[in-house]
Structure 1
Amino acid sequence: MASLTSSIHRLTATPTYLTIALGAGLVTWQAAAGTVPWLVQILVFGILLFGSGIPHGALDHLINQETALRSGHRFSLVRFLARYLLTMAVYALAWYLFPALSLLLFLVMSAFHFGEADIERVPATPAWTLTRLLAGSWVLAFILLTHVVQVTPVLQRITQDHALTLAIWALAVNQASAVLIGGGVLTSLAFAVAYAINPVAMDYPRLVRLALVLALGYGLPLLLAFGLYFGGWHALVSFQTIHGYLRQRRPDTLTAGQIWLKSLPFTALALVSLGLFVWWWQQYAHTWDPLPLLFVFLSLITLPHLGVMHGMHQQVAGAPKRSATLHKPTRH
């Protein structure tokens, strides 16, 4: 009985199992009905986005404050917000002047960000850094190249039919199997080399759960596939890493629920900003295609978040860098 209770506790304490259950339910629905209704897709994506996706980024000020304290620096909320907004402004200008390069920058940084969260608590060595970049790139490529029919028109609208970008995409689509198989082999080799140089304890069941999330998304529409990965996996594992990071010095005062509540003010600010953006578009730019504008808006609030999370992951990886002994992995 004690063993069963312990197993149940571990299961319920791992929210990514809920993502797998949700994905399995959606796949079953689609198999039975032929398709998941569009309104259901929107509802599920909205719950994942606003329940965990945006909130995990709305903790950046707390993460940066903790990183500053651990680094022996003073933290200023005003200075943090000013730097955050300046980053967004510079990136917005880059989108205006160099849209194709800005898209490439966003994809590369997002790939590394995903890999950094998926393969956490490893030393910041060149081998592990390359492994994270390759792993995140493979995940991103898998989601995109298994939903070509839906991705292609979105890419055309975002890039405004940029010839070189679409030519590269067409080449990737034509060689999709080679890209995914070759990328998987290259990532595995990089992982093996990084592990041989700097061995660390890996939570392999966690990687299996990631594979299940991606596999379930393979048979679902793009919106659900990306929602399952971003909101149902990436944001949840990031939330748990953030939870451990923030409560390390005060374990009795910060629960996971309290940390989520602390994200609500900036989550609300993001929603208000999105509402103002929609209002501005309707009033002054309703003849413009809203999808590229929305994508740029989301990229602007994402880019500074990537820097904050990178700082946290570097701090978390500090223990492996200072010690050659294996550490016990945390469960997500």
Structure 2
Amino acid sequence: MERVVGMNSRVGSHESTRERTVFRLAFLGPWIALASTAAAVLVFGAPSREVQLLPFAVSIVLFGLPHGAVDHLTLPWAYDEPPTRRWLAIVGGLYLLVGLAYAMIWFVAPIAAFALFILITWFHWGQGELHPLVELVDPTHLRTRTARALTVAARGALPMVVPLVAFPEEYRWVAARLVGLFGTVDLAALDPVFSPVGRGAAAAVVATLLVASLAVGYRSGEGRESWLVDSGELVFLSAYFLVVPPILAIGMFFPCWHSVRHITRLLLLDDAAAARLDEGELWSALARFGRLATPLTVGALLVFGGLALAVPVDPGSGPDLFAVYLVGIAVVTAPHVVVVTWLDLTDGVWQPVRRGEH
């Protein structure tokens, strides 16, 4: 795969049309979306909680929920095979078994399920950041598995842990909404996490991961451009999650950053979409993705509707529907992580790179 920002390439007239198009989609668009959100909060203050929930509503149809709705095609694309019944059975069985097992944890032990949701998302959003750095930027500062593991841990910690440090009451509100769907649940078990000591420990973990990730990358890299891209994004995302209230911050990050970067990866896997990127036809490529993602996006919404009927508490308000959506996202994320991990292994994302190799 061609690099869009690397030691031997620059964004400019000498790059291919595909490189420029991919850069706009995977980097420029996400940076603008999150920077604009942070700037608006700094200038105008945080909007009401109801307004903060709007990006989640939009993510149902735009990028967020659909980004995982072509998992049944992702692995066949990676193996350059058609989506046969065998592949559909493998991915469908994976979603059924893993998703159903995790859904049952929510009904039996919602606090444990919430904690597991945070851990799964921590890993998944971290792995979603590793692929662009390795395949679209340059792997020269992420040569070893240790460097890549630290990148996953540090990047995933930013959206999952920094909001806990900066906005503990909002974080607790979200936790209460999610576990509250399953009846009267005592949140006292989470008190140590939200205490000053717990938040201090969380801040120390994040700081350690960030420093370790940057130090290992700096030490192992041949050049500095890819390391500067990585460090610049780490600083930017750290500031973003410290400034923007978590509901709004995650509501924008999920569809506009994480999902868009994953969709970029899928467009490059899909030969038909990649051909459109070669012609600079970004909207045509995205429209094709949207058509392919629509059936299972609708299917996921039906599952979420069933979940809303199954939970003990009637989700009659906007915040409760938001909680149902997040629990539904959690349920489909678990098998989605397995698919993306499989894809990473197939693509060699975890393969070490020797010096002199790019």
Q: CA contact under 8 A between 2:63 and 2:260: conserved in structure 1?
A: yes
1:311 is matched with: 342
2:208 is matched with: 185
Write out per-residue CA displacement over residues 55-98 of structure 1, whole angstroms, 9 at most, x where no aligned residue: 1111211112234558xx99431332122111111112233334
1:83 is matched with: 94
1:324 aligned counterpart, secondary structure: coil
2:253 is matched with: 229
TM-score (norm 1): 0.76
After superposition, the Cα gap between the structure-2 partners of 1:124 and 1:231, relative to the gap in structure 1 and judged at 3 Å, is farther
Write out per-residue CA displacement over residues 266-291 of structure 1, whole angstroms, 9 at most, x where no aligned residue: 1222223334444x269x85289766
Q: CA contact under 8 A between 2:163 and 2:245: conserved in structure 1?
A: no
Query: 1:5-24 residue pairs with structure 2 within 5 A?
Result: 10=20, 13-15=23-25, 16-24=27-35
2:226 aligned counterpart, secondary structure: coil
1:202 aligned counterpart, secondary structure: helix
Does residue 256 of structure 1 match 2:291? no
Which letter maps to 1:14?
R
Farther off after superposition, 19-28 or 107-116: 19-28
After superposition, the Cα gap between the structure-2 partners of 1:169 and 1:38, relative to the gap in structure 1 and judged at 3 Å, is closer
Write out per-residue CA displacement over residues 189-221 of structure 1, whole angstroms, 9 at most, x where no aligned residue: 255447757979836425524543452343333
State which of 245, 252, 265 in structure 2 corresponds to 1:241: 265
Q: CA contact under 8 A between 2:154 and 2:210: conserved in structure 1?
A: yes
State which of 115, 127, 130 in structure 2 corresponds to 1:116: 127
1:306 Cα deviation from its structure 2 partner = 0.7
Q: CA contact under 8 A between 2:276 and 2:285: conserved in structure 1?
A: no
- Number of matched pairs: 317
CA distance in 2, matches of 1:230, 1:152: 19
- Sequence identity, in percent? 21
State which of 106, 123, 135 in structure 2 corresponds to 1:95: 106
Which letter maps to 1:65?
P
Which letter maps to 2:275?
D
CA distance in 2, matches of 1:124, 1:46: 39
1:219 is matched with: 243
CA distance in 2, matches of 1:38, 1:156: 15
CA distance in 2, matches of 1:183, 1:229: 18
State which of 153, 157, 161 in structure 2 corresponds to 1:137: 157
Q: CA contact under 8 A between 2:74 and 2:266: conserved in structure 1?
A: yes
Does residue 286 of structure 1 match 2:314? yes
1:41 Cα deviation from its structure 2 partner = 3.1
Query: 1:30-179 residue pairs with structure 2 within 5 A?
Result: 30-37=41-48, 40-67=51-78, 75-120=86-131, 121=134, 125=145, 128-159=148-179, 160-164=185-189, 166-171=190-195, 173-174=196-197, 176-177=199-200, 179=202
Cα RMSD of the aligned pairs, angstroms, is 3.9
TM-score (norm 2): 0.71
After superposition, the Cα gap between the structure-2 partners of 1:123 and 1:274, relative to the gap in structure 1 and judged at 3 Å, is farther
1:301 Cα deviation from its structure 2 partner = 1.1
After superposition, the Cα gap between the structure-2 partners of 1:37 and 1:168, relative to the gap in structure 1 and judged at 3 Å, is closer
Structure 1 unaligned spans of 5+: none
Which letter maps to 2:163?
I
